[in-house]
Structure formats: structure tokens, C-alpha cells
Amino acid sequence: MIKRRITRQVSLGSVKIGRNSPVSIQSMTKTDTRDIAATVRQVKSLESLGCEIIRVAVKDISCAQAIKKIKSKIKIPLEADIHFDYRLALEAIASGSDSVRLNPGNIRKKEHVVEVIKACRKKNIPVRIGLNSGSAGTNSAKGMVKAALDYLKIFEKEKFFDIMISLKASDVYTTICAYREMAKVCDYPFHLGVTAAGSAQAGLIKSSIGIGALLADGIGDTIRVSLTGEPENEVIAAKHILQSLGLRKFFPEIIACPTCGRCQVDLSKIVNNFYDAMLDTKYSTLNTKIALMGCEVNGPGEAKEADMGIAFGKNAGTLFKKGKIIKKVSYKDAVKELIKLI
């Protein structure tokens, strides 16, 4: 079992981050924040998949003002993403943002940061010091840690400790090293991520290695898997990362064979449909191992350790439970029948 790093705890709206709270999942909307209807639609879609915190881009004052209406229509806490202009943070806080992310690389003036700290203290909300390697003017893990520590001094001098930290580089190993070093010198909770990770496939691999390595070390309190494309994929990926490490449980364990020359059906279609069905939160507490196997010759045998499953022949499948055959089902009805058995 993973022993998690001991940290302070902050509250981002109703979600606790750090100490013994579960590692939370967050994502970021990809809509123009000023388009309230589109942004709310995207947040609701992410909420329904299990996203626990949402971040929105605040590129001008209208975005900051839109937060008020967005917040009134969504359930999960919202973090405002602020770059360049500290006044956007003040406006987002006034609009009811549950947290603000400041980029130390482009909000540098001490007096500006202090203004934001005062506003956060008044509303009792945390700040994320969100450092990215490029904008921090350094590409090394050491440089990132130093930049974060210098920035932290402004907060600590003001006796403000409701802080989360992220140290994201687009290079996976630099990201890992930066967080590991930072974990040695502070006890603030960490938001983990690999920045600009890339496409659904490449980005997923980079994020899984970066975030996964740190989580396995016990480092990390909330995660965002940055992927180019639909944000829904970020939430699903985050769930898989956390479940793979035994840190959270979201769906039953699914075993699927890779298929070989014996397989006579489109197993990948079946597996994808089944995964989609299992995303429904009603299956999250199910402690069942389910196997989807490409052939009836080896399927039930290979999946002996599964509680139940299905092994396919030509256009049909055999449902099995603990290695014993239950009944034959057509290829078309296979997923439906398996869900019925569950």
C-alpha cells in the first residue's frame, strides 16, 4: 500500500486537498469562459464522469465576471486560472471563485501578490502556486524548486498558508525531479501534472508515467491529466491512474485479452463499450473482476481468476462465472447480458 506524504490540508470549496483526503481529480474547461452556456455544459459533462474540481481560463475581466454565473449552475468547486494580471485574480475572487492559480512566471510583483493574498484571506480560499518550467524562466528541476520557494516567501511573510503547489514541466523526468525535491522542503499539498503533455495517446503515456511515478512515491494530492482534445478523456485517464495504484476505486477491475489469431469478433469494440458502461458511478463500489476474452478455447481458462466474464466464438459468446459456463449469448447482446449478470 502506498504511504502518502504528510501535508497540510486546504479546502477548495467542498473538496479537501492534502493530508488524508483522497487524491482528487481535476480538469480544465476548453471553452471560452465568457461563453457561459458552453462552459457550464462542459463542466456538467465532466461532473457526470467524476471530475471533482474544475479550472477555467481567465484571460480578461469578462471571464472573471462570468465565473459568478458559471458557479451558480455547477456543483463542483472552481479554480480560476490567472496569468499576467493580478487584477483578474481579484475579480475572479469577487465572482466567487473557490481558488486562484497564480503563475509565478508572469505575476511577479510582490505588492500584486500581496493584494491577491489579502483577497483570498478575506474569502477564506486557497491559492495554487502554479509554476510551469517555461514561463518560470528555467528548464531545470532545481530552478523550478528555487523559483517556487522564492515565491512562497511572499505568502509565508504574510502568514498565509492555504497553498497548493504545482511544478509542471513538459519533460516528464524534470517534472518528477522537481516535485520530489519540493516534497523534501515543504509540507504544502501538491497538484500534480505534466504540462502540455500532448495527444490522447502520447500525452496519456507521459502523464501516466509522470503522475504515476510521483503517486507511487506517496507524492501528490490532486491531479490533472493534461491532454490535447476532449477534457472528458482527462477525467477518465485520471480515474485509471488512481485506480491502477490502488489509491481510489471507480469501477470494477476489467481484464481483456489482447486478442490473437483465434479471435473471431471485434473485441476492441466490445471492450470499449463495456468500459463506457462501467464509468457509471453505480458500479464504482463493485469489487468484481470481469474478463472479456477473445476466444472460447482459452478464454475461460485464461481468465480463471476473474469472478465473471465472457469468451467469444464466432458471432456469439459464452458467459462464465468463476470458470463455469452460464449461458451462450449473441455477439450483439454480449455487453448487455454481461451487465445483467453483474
What is the nearest approach in angstroms of ligand SF4 to the Cβ of residue 78? 45
Angle between helices 86-94 and 61-73 (to 10 degrees): 30
CB closer to ligand SF4 out of 242 and 293:
293
What is the nearest approach in angstroms of ligand SF4 to the Cβ of residue 285? 28
CB closer to ligand SF4 out of 6 and 297:
297
CB closer to ligand SF4 out of 263 and 339:
263
Residues making up the chain, counted from first to last: 342
d(CA 143, CA 137): 8
- Count of chain residues binding ligand SF4 (CB under 6 A): 12
Interface residues for ligand SF4 in 97-116 (CB under 6 A)? none
Residue closest to ligand SF4 when measured from CB atoms: 294
What is the nearest approach in angstroms of ligand SF4 to the Cβ of residue 151? 52
d(CA 14, CA 98): 9
Do 306 and 274 touch, CB atoms closer than 8 A?
A: no
Interface residues for ligand SF4 in 205-264 (CB under 6 A)? 257-260, 262-263
Chain centroid to CA 322: how far?
34
What is the nearest approach in angstroms of ligand SF4 to the Cβ of residue 308? 15
Which has the closest alpha carbon to 21: 43, 6, 39, 31? 6
Q: Which residue has the cell 522564492?
A: 150
Interface residues for ligand SF4 in 295-314 (CB under 6 A)? 295, 298-299, 302
Chain centroid to CA 278: how far?
18
What is the nearest approach in angstroms of ligand SF4 to the Cβ of residue 342? 20
d(CA 81, CA 28): 9
CB closer to ligand SF4 out of 141 and 293:
293
What is the nearest approach in angstroms of ligand SF4 to the Cβ of residue 309? 10
Among 176, 214, 223, 293, binds ligand SF4 (CB under 6 A): 293
CB closer to ligand SF4 out of 125 and 295:
295
Burial of 324 (0-12, 13-18, 19+ CB in 10 A): exposed
CB closer to ligand SF4 out of 295 and 310:
295
What is the nearest approach in angstroms of ligand SF4 to the Cβ of residue 267? 8
Do 5 and 189 touch, CB atoms closer than 8 A?
A: no
CB closer to ligand SF4 out of 246 and 301:
301
CB closer to ligand SF4 out of 110 and 322:
322
CB closer to ligand SF4 out of 202 and 297:
297
- The contact mask relative to ligand SF4 for 30-69 (x = CB under 6 A, - = no) is ----------------------------------------
What is the nearest approach in angstroms of ligand SF4 to the Cβ of residue 275? 17
Mode of pairing for the β-strands spanning 9-12 and 15-18: antiparallel
What is the nearest approach in angstroms of ligand SF4 to the Cβ of residue 63? 50
Residues near ligand SF4 (CB under 6 A): 257-260, 262-263, 293-295, 298-299, 302
